[in-house]
A and B are shown apart, each in its own frame.
Chain A
Amino acid sequence: MEDPTGNNPSDAPPPDSPPEKRFASLSLPPDFEIQEDDDDDEGYLTAVSRGGSITSATAAWKDDLEDADVAPPSPSSSGYAGERGTSLASSAAANDDPEPQPDDDWPRDKKHLHEDDTSASWRKRKKHFFILSNSGKPIYSRYGDEHKLAGFSATLQAIISFVENSGDHIKFVRAAKHQIVFLVKGPIYLVCISCTEESYEGLRGQLELMYGQMLLILTKSVNRCFEKNPKFDMAPLLGGTDAVFLSLIHAFSWNPATFLHAYTCLPLAQSTRQAASAVLQDIADSGVLFALLMCEHKVISLVGAQKAILHPDDIFLLSNFILSSESFRTSESFSPICLPRYNSMAFLYAYVHFFDENTYLTLLTARSDAFYDLKDSRSRIQNVLLKANVLVEVQRSLRESALRIEDLPADPSSQSVSPPPQFSQDVHSQLLSSEMAIGGPAGLWHFIYKSIYLDQYVSSEFPLIISNPKQQKRLYKAYQKLYASMHDKATGPHKTQFRRDEDYVLFCWITQDFELYAAFNPLADKSQAIKVCNRVCQWIRDLENEIFVYGESTLSW
């Protein structure tokens, strides 16, 4: 069994070296003070050790941002940046500068253990997360040493207890710019204190995922410990899992799966994916409940035993757990885990093996003695994947298959006037210079498309104008707000929303089959925008065999 501890404190650089090193390319002064800019994502602990296998600067830059899907388009990979319309000439030129060098040594332990509730820096943090027991004992805090926050935990418990005593439940407290959101799960209390202007529903959803992550590590059996002994100190049970929670909190600001409750797939040719699915199906004999082949947080193939359905949140929490725990990368592992949406009371066992830097196989079983069987299954799977060239295709897809707004096919009705898009780059850029002058077709910058039936989503690559992580985070926050308002229980659900502010035009369209979230240039024309959204939907339908996993096949077990 592998210890999920991914974070060896002795290896960690001093916690007070500035984490913004990774933004070196934005030429921040060397003495840049983190507290001043405290970006709510600041406590993120990089999920992975990147070893020495990264060869191209492009890959490294993407890696540094955690994920190819949200990484900025890499100018050197497509050569595209230089071909933008003239209005972007200067920024395109700026991109000829050397690629920013990723800093593998940026602080991995960013919990700021020296802080507590009396520190000015602690109080200035934009987003706190706390887990505590219903007797006020601290279990987890995003910032600072839990022990030193015992008094603060007690205060939170007192507030919850005070309201409960009058037969009520506290949902949130608003105090000027701050929102304090509470989530009570039996003997476990979860609290978020935030001044990020996120919605109550959004923050509550994040607390639900925090709880789910905790269950994934421990199961709901912890409740029994509290029934037996209300004084139970749960913090030691979560020992070594800081990296998992920090990576989860980081995901709240970059991974749409956290609010869409859907997963995303790695685009692959249908035949390639079928080869992978076929061999996963083939391992029915080894008592596998679920078999998942993933590349970072994207699903390549997914197979479940009869009637067993994997919830997208479970996929997300499982992949976050695996990707943030370094030990999974170093050797094949067998670890007890709980899928909270599948069965929150009990453990399954996860066999995990990384085929390369980012592609890994997870086999889930209820048999605690299945390690050697699953090891054999893995080796059979590996042979087939190699023979069918799947792993190579996966790497190629990672580099090349992102959905780019620029590739959006032209409106069929206007094809007589605009040439078809599949052209040499020269022609392509001429065409674009008119259409792209305000960002993309009709000013389209970015979109997320969620298939309701499949529980899957795809999102386009970020354009240059949203290329830095801060801008991307802001857009995701805008999407989250849009999501919350569309799904508002009191006033919704709604079918469409068109919202213009100084940053974007946001358009959301929900039908029985899909949800589309799109961001446009703030000057975009409404009717044009709607036309473009129709084109996006058509485009997704044209590509669906490559960008979605279909027919989630079942094992006969």
Chain B
Amino acid sequence: MNQYVNKKFSNQYKATIGADFLTKEVQFEDRLFTLQIWDTAGQERFQSLGVAFYRGADCCVLVYDVNSMKSFDNLNNWREEFLIQASPSDPDNFPFVLLGNKVDVDDGNSRVVSEKKAKAWCASKGNIPYFETSAKDGTNVEEAFQCIVKNALKNEPEEELYVPDTVDVVGGNRAQRSSGCC
């Protein structure tokens, strides 16, 4: 995420405390968008942010480490957890993107999850787009985020006109003055 927003990468392992928030402006098809990127913590002890935390997400990006089978195996849990918490109106078509990260490590020699295996998982979940990335050298990071924007916008509902009601005086819609709050 830092690579994408700030073109920076920190080698130092730093556990995300709950969540990190970054913003990035992206141009997509001649329009400028502000991406609000929420990086939630992987550790279970940070799993307390709750339902409201995922509310209104436009896209969910799952990231695993191609050098760790456990991180790949956990993807199912993460995906389900997100769908439960965010409860999007159409869970089957909610946009996910999968990133296989750390492809740079050891020139790929320590890799344990193959591209084929990852793509098969994506296919089984309704053709989730897949990118192999390196946060360290920036490989595919830009491309992945362009895809994220595209997918997020795909689900954007048609803009509706904002037309509130008018006070109905005849129908006795008069709110009596309340002296309750403040």
Q: A residues within 8 Å of B by Cβ?
A: 133-137, 147-155, 157-158, 160-162, 164-165, 204-205, 208, 218-219, 221-222, 225, 228-232, 237, 261, 289, 305, 307-309, 311, 336, 338, 341-349, 366, 368
Query: In the assembled complex, which residues on chain A have CB atoms less than 8 Å from the CB atom of B166?
Result: 336, 346-349, 366, 368
**The one of A135, A147, A221, A305 that contacts B164, using a Cβ cutoff of 8 Å:** A221
Of B63-71, B130-138, B141-149, B169-177, the one with at least 4 CB within 8 A of chain A = B169-177
Query: In the assembled complex, which residues on chain B have CB atoms less than 8 Å from the CB atom of A342?
Result: 167, 174-175, 177
Interface residue SS majority, chain A: mixed
Query: In the assembled complex, which residues on chain B have CB atoms less than 8 Å from the CB atom of A133?
Result: 56
Of B47-55, B73-81, B101-109, B114-122, the one with at least 4 CB within 8 A of chain A = B47-55
Q: Is the Cβ of A344 less than 8 Å from the Cβ of B21?
A: no
**The one of A135, A218, A261, A338 that contacts B55, using a Cβ cutoff of 8 Å:** A135
Answer whether residue B181 sits at the interface, using C-beta atoms and an 8 A cutoff: yes
Q: Is the Cβ of B21 less than 8 Å from the Cβ of A346?
A: no
Report how far A205 CA is from B162 CA in the complex, Å.
28
**Closest CB pairs A-B (n = 8):** A135-B56, A165-B50, A161-B52, A221-B164, A151-B21, A230-B56, A150-B36, A150-B23
Q: Is the Cβ of A345 less than 8 Å from the Cβ of B52?
A: no
Interface residue tally on B, bucketed by range: 35 or more
**The one of B56, B57, B164 that contacts A134, using a Cβ cutoff of 8 Å:** B56
Q: Is the Cβ of A347 less than 8 Å from the Cβ of B165?
A: yes
Contact of A366 with B36 at beta-carbon distance under 8 Å, contacts A230-B55, A237-B162 already known: no
Answer whether residue B22 sits at the interface, using C-beta atoms and an 8 A cutoff: yes
Report how far A68 CA is from B53 CA in the complex, Å.
48
Answer whether residue B18 sits at the interface, using C-beta atoms and an 8 A cutoff: yes
Report how far A289 CA is from B167 CA in the complex, Å.
10
Contact of A147 with B177 at beta-carbon distance under 8 Å, contacts A153-B36, A347-B164 already known: no
Max chain B Cβ within 10 angstroms of own Cβ: one of A135, A153, A342: A135
Report how far A231 CA is from B37 CA in the complex, Å.
14
Report how far A37 CA is from B83 CA in the complex, Å.
49
Q: Is the Cβ of A346 less than 8 Å from the Cβ of B182?
A: no
Report how far A153 CA is from B38 CA in the complex, Å.
11
Query: In the assembled complex, which residues on chain B have CB atoms less than 8 Å from the CB atom of A225?
Result: 160, 162
Q: Is the Cβ of A347 less than 8 Å from the Cβ of B167?
A: yes
Which residues of chain B from 16 to 61 have any CB-CB distance to chain A below 8 Å in the complex?
18-19, 21-23, 25, 34-38, 48-53, 55-58
What would 9 A/B residue contacts be, using CB atoms closer than 8 Å? A136-B56, A148-B23, A150-B21, A150-B36, A161-B55, A204-B182, A231-B57, A343-B173, A366-B167
Q: Is the Cβ of A162 less than 8 Å from the Cβ of B167?
A: no
**The one of B57, B160, B174 that contacts A307, using a Cβ cutoff of 8 Å:** B174
Query: In the assembled complex, which residues on chain B have CB atoms less than 8 Å from the CB atom of A162?
Result: 18, 48-50, 53
Closest chain-A Cβ to B31's Cβ sits at a distance in Å of: 13
Report how far A219 CA is from B181 CA in the complex, Å.
18
Name the residue of chain A whose CB is nearest to the CB of B173: A343
State the total of A-B contacts with C-beta under 8 angstroms: 131
Name the residue of chain B whose CB is nearest to the CB of A234: B162
Q: Is the Cβ of B49 less than 8 Å from the Cβ of A161?
A: yes
Report how far A155 CA is from B20 CA in the complex, Å.
8
Closest chain-B Cβ to A293's Cβ sits at a distance in Å of: 21
Q: Is the Cβ of A231 less than 8 Å from the Cβ of B177?
A: no
Name the residue of chain B whose CB is nearest to the CB of A221: B164
Name the residue of chain A whose CB is nearest to the CB of B162: A237
Answer whether residue B168 sits at the interface, using C-beta atoms and an 8 A cutoff: yes
Report how far A137 CA is from B38 CA in the complex, Å.
12
Closest chain-B Cβ to A33's Cβ sits at a distance in Å of: 28
Report how far A519 CA is from B182 CA in the complex, Å.
25
Q: B residues within 8 Å of A by Cβ?
A: 18-19, 21-23, 25, 34-38, 48-53, 55-58, 156-157, 160, 162, 164-169, 173-178, 181-182
Query: In the assembled complex, which residues on chain B have CB atoms less than 8 Å from the CB atom of A136?
Result: 36, 38, 55-56
Report how far A210 CA is from B17 CA in the complex, Å.
32
Closest chain-A Cβ to B97's Cβ sits at a distance in Å of: 17
Closest chain-A Cβ to B119's Cβ sits at a distance in Å of: 29
Q: Is the Cβ of A154 less than 8 Å from the Cβ of B21?
A: yes
Closest chain-A Cβ to B95's Cβ sits at a distance in Å of: 12
Q: Is the Cβ of A154 less than 8 Å from the Cβ of B168?
A: no
Q: Is the Cβ of B175 less than 8 Å from the Cβ of A344?
A: yes
Contact of A221 with B157 at beta-carbon distance under 8 Å, contacts A162-B50, A342-B175 already known: no
Query: In the assembled complex, which residues on chain B have CB atoms less than 8 Å from the CB atom of A154?
Result: 19, 21, 36, 38
A164-B52, A341-B175, A346-B167 are known; give 16 further A-B pairs, CB within 8 A. A136-B38, A136-B56, A137-B56, A148-B34, A149-B23, A151-B37, A154-B19, A154-B36, A157-B53, A158-B21, A160-B52, A161-B55, A165-B53, A307-B174, A344-B175, A366-B169
Closest chain-B Cβ to A526's Cβ sits at a distance in Å of: 32
Closest chain-B Cβ to A150's Cβ sits at a distance in Å of: 4
Q: Is the Cβ of A165 less than 8 Å from the Cβ of B23?
A: no
**The one of B34, B48, B169, B175 that contacts A150, using a Cβ cutoff of 8 Å:** B34
Report how far A237 CA is from B161 CA in the complex, Å.
10
Query: In the assembled complex, which residues on chain A have CB atoms less than 8 Å from the CB atom of B160?
Result: 225
Closest chain-A Cβ to B69's Cβ sits at a distance in Å of: 31
Query: In the assembled complex, which residues on chain A have CB atoms less than 8 Å from the CB atom of B23?
Result: 147-151
**The one of A261, A346, A349 that contacts B165, using a Cβ cutoff of 8 Å:** A346
Contact of A134 with B169 at beta-carbon distance under 8 Å, contacts A147-B23, A154-B38 already known: no
**The one of B52, B58, B169 that contacts A165, using a Cβ cutoff of 8 Å:** B52
Q: Is the Cβ of A341 less than 8 Å from the Cβ of B178?
A: yes
Query: In the assembled complex, which residues on chain A have CB atoms less than 8 Å from the CB atom of B181?
Result: 208
Max chain B Cβ within 10 angstroms of own Cβ: one of A308, A338, A343, A368: A343
Report how far A152 CA is from B37 CA in the complex, Å.
11
Query: In the assembled complex, which residues on chain B have CB atoms less than 8 Å from the CB atom of A307?
Result: 174
Closest chain-B Cβ to A94's Cβ sits at a distance in Å of: 42
Max chain A Cβ within 10 angstroms of own Cβ: one of B18, B34, B35, B176: B34
Q: Is the Cβ of A151 less than 8 Å from the Cβ of B22?
A: yes
Query: In the assembled complex, which residues on chain B have CB atoms less than 8 Å from the CB atom of A309?
Result: 176-177
Query: In the assembled complex, which residues on chain A have CB atoms less than 8 Å from the CB atom of B36?
Result: 136-137, 150-151, 153-154
Report how far A149 CA is from B36 CA in the complex, Å.
9
**The one of B19, B50, B53, B56 that contacts A231, using a Cβ cutoff of 8 Å:** B56
Query: In the assembled complex, which residues on chain B have CB atoms less than 8 Å from the CB atom of A368?
Result: 166
Report how far A307 CA is from B176 CA in the complex, Å.
8
Contact of A155 with B182 at beta-carbon distance under 8 Å, contacts A135-B56, A161-B52, A346-B165 already known: no
